[in-house]
Every structure is written in structure tokens, then in C-alpha cells.
Amino acid sequence: MIYLEAETDVGTLALWDMGHQLEHLAPLPNREFQATITQDSKAARLIYIGSDMDLGCRLGLFFKEEPHSPNIQPWYYQVDRTLYLHAPSGRLCFAGLEFYRRETPHVVHENSIGEIDPGLYRVQAYVRLDEADDFITEQLCKLVGREEYRYYRSRSTGCLLSAIALGLGFITSLAWSWLAMGIAILFSILYIGLQTRRNELDTRYQNTAQHIQQWYQQHPELLFQLEKTEQLGMSDGSIDIGMHR
């Protein structure tokens, strides 16, 4: 399994081969840029991955013909899209779409580059289900124990609720005064800091968090199964993470 990581500020990721000799897209207007991206994806020069948020993402690549290809577990959804990827150099880049065909393609995550055999590949995509899904919850409970998982979730939820409270406090205080807004923001920031510090010092929480993080590292948000082919078919060119999570 080859693992790649990417981050984006535009809510869209992409996988492409860095050997394509194509002109930069930076000067193009947005509408023309999108038309070019669509054309390139259908020609298998890239696969782009849409989402409803800005995000970082981990991608696992494996080959169908490998004798030890991983079994696709029930916490992955098979994407019903026909995808191809032409890799003339075999040097792949997984990054935000904002870096595709730019003058500064090196501005990517440190683990964004991977190498495969050059060639044309048919790609089957799998998207991991949301963390709240019962399949994943059950796996994590088996991994760390049901009681430990509940403890971990209760501590993690505390930080999340604090962040939500910060946002609500900011919005609500707009109707009062700048002084009230300042007090609300200060209180929320202090509370989040205390919650975070408490978790950092909690050995029980940290041990459980480490095991859960390792599980997610081994089960990335996306899996691409690659199969070499001689013929390029009609490629859909893109998938949408958000609709499957």
C-alpha cells in the first residue's frame, strides 16, 4: 500500500502524474480553468476529488494484480464511477486542486509524492464511511475496549462543544456589545485551552487516542485500486467525498 497525504484550501483535491508536459493554468480565468480541469480529467490526466469543505486527506493506493491486495472492509463505500489515470512518468502528486498545473507545484504536503510503474491505469475508488458509522465505532471499540472508547469520545466531545460554544458566543454577543463579545471569546478560549491541556496530561486519554490515530492511519479516507490497462475508456474523471460521508 502506498500512502499519500494532501491538504487543500479550495475544498477539492486531485491526483495526477507529474510527467505531463502541460502549460500552467494560473493566468486562466476561473471558468476556463474549470473547463480545462474537466477536459484533463476526462483525458485521464488527473482525478479530482470534490468535498463540501476544506480538508486534509489521506489516500491509499494499491494494485489489483498484487497477490496480497487488501480486502475492502465494510466501512468503505465503493464509488460507482469509471476512472482512469495516465501516468507517463509514474511519479504521482496528490494535492489540492489549486496546485495542479501551477508554477509552484512543490507547495504540497511532505507526503504528497509517490511513485508507481508508468502506464495507464483503471481506478476503482473507495471512500471510508463517517466516523459515526456503526462499522467504524464497532472496530474502534474492539481495538481499545468499549469503555475506553466511550471515555475517549467524552473527552473529545468536550473540546468540540467548547469550540461550538465559542462560535455561538461570538454570534450572540454581536447583538449585545463589543465588551460582551470580548468576554465571551476570552472565556471560551480559556476553557478550550484548559480542556486541551487536561487531555494532554491524561495518560488514559492519550493512550487511547494514539491507538485510534494509528487505526485511522492504516485506514485512510480514500482508497484507489489501480489496475493496468492498455485501452483508455470514457473516464468520469472525478468523485465527491462529501456525498458518501
State the CATH number of the domain containing residue 77.
2.60.34.30
pTM of the model: 0.76
* 74 part of a folded domain: yes
Is 245 inside a domain boundary? no
Q: Is residue 43 part of a domain?
A: yes
CA dihedral 13, 19, 22, 23 (to 10 degrees): 80
Do 89 and 17 fall into the same domain? Answer: yes
The pLDDT of residue 68: 62
| Structure letter (DSSP) for residue 211 | H
31 falls within a domain: yes
Asked whether the CA dihedral 218, 50, 232, 22 is positive or negative, the reply is negative
Q: Are residues 77 and 138 in the same domain?
A: no
Max CA pair span of the chain: 67
pLDDT category of residue 211 using cuts at 50, 70 and 90: very high
Same-domain pairing of 60 and 23: yes
* CB atoms closer than 10 angstroms to residue 75: 19
In a domain, 200, yes or no: yes
Residue 71 included in any domain: yes
Looking at the fold, whether 118 and 195 belong to one and the same domain comes out as no
Q: Which domain holds residue 182?
A: 134-215
**Are 40 and 72 in the same domain?**
yes
Number of domains comprising the chain: 2
Same domain, 7 and 118: yes
Asked whether residue 16 is domain-assigned, the answer is: yes
Tell me the per-residue pLDDT of 78-124, one tens digit each, with 9 for 90 and over: 999 989 999 999 999 998 888 888 766 555 667 889 999 999 999 99
Counting DSSP H helices and E strands in the chain, the numbers are 5, 11
Q: Clarify whether residues 176 and 191 are in a common domain.
A: yes
For residues 49 and 113, state if they share a domain: yes
Name the nearest CA neighbour of 113 among 98, 94, 90, 88: 94
The residue behind cell 476529488 is 49
Percent of the chain past pLDDT 70, that is, above it, reads 72
For the segment 159-182, the average pLDDT, to the nearest whole number, is 57
